[in-house]
């Protein structure tokens, strides 16, 4: 199974500041024939199911604010929150869907400093 490793496990960021979460895959999730990275990002708030933020590594899902952006390729990916808002406090997960089973990172907890 592909192993997804996120860093850091947690971070505290001031309101309005940038938050950066990293995700590393044990193997490339880039499919060369279509040049797509099979990588998604989710946000999970306490007591709620995860919410899809980003798919294909950098495409925002419908309704997701543009302060959320995804980047990277191959094995290294980043989720950036450009200006942290109070409602962004949550745990964030990356997920690969290049291989079966799809696998998730361990999660990164984002808090307000």
| Min dist. Cβ of residue 83 to another protein (A) | 25
Cα 39 from Cα 17, distance rounded (Å) = 25
Residues 36-55, one symbol each (x = binds another protein by CB under 8 A, - = not), give x-x-x-x------xxxx--x
For 9, 10, 19, 76, 99, the CA distances from 113, given in Å and listed in that order, are 15, 12, 11, 26, 37
Identify residues 76-95 at the interface with another protein (CB under 8 A): 93, 95
- The answer to the question of residue 27 lying near another protein (CB under 8 A) is no
Q: How many residues bind another protein (CB under 8 A)?
A: 24
Stretch of 7-15, 20-28, 29-37, 75-83 contacting another protein, by CB under 8 A: 29-37
Torsion of CA 58, 62, 65, 66, to 10 degrees: 40
Contact of 94 with 6, CB cutoff 8 Å:
yes
- The answer to the question of residue 101 lying near another protein (CB under 8 A) is yes
């Amino acid at each position: 199974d592909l192993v997804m490793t996120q860093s850091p496990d947690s971070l505290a960021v001031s309101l309005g500041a940038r938050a950066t979460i990293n995700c590393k895959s044990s193997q490339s999730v880039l499919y060369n024939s279509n040049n797509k990275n099979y990588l998604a990002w989710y946000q999970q708030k306490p007591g709620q199911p995860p919410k899809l933020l980003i798919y294909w590594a950098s495409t925002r899902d419908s309704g997701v604010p543009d302060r959320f952006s995804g980047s990277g390729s191959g094995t290294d990916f980043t989720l950036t929150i450009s200006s942290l808002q109070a409602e962004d406090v949550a745990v964030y997960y990356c997920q690969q869907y290049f291989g079966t089973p799809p696998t998730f990172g361990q999660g990164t907890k984002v808090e307000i400093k």
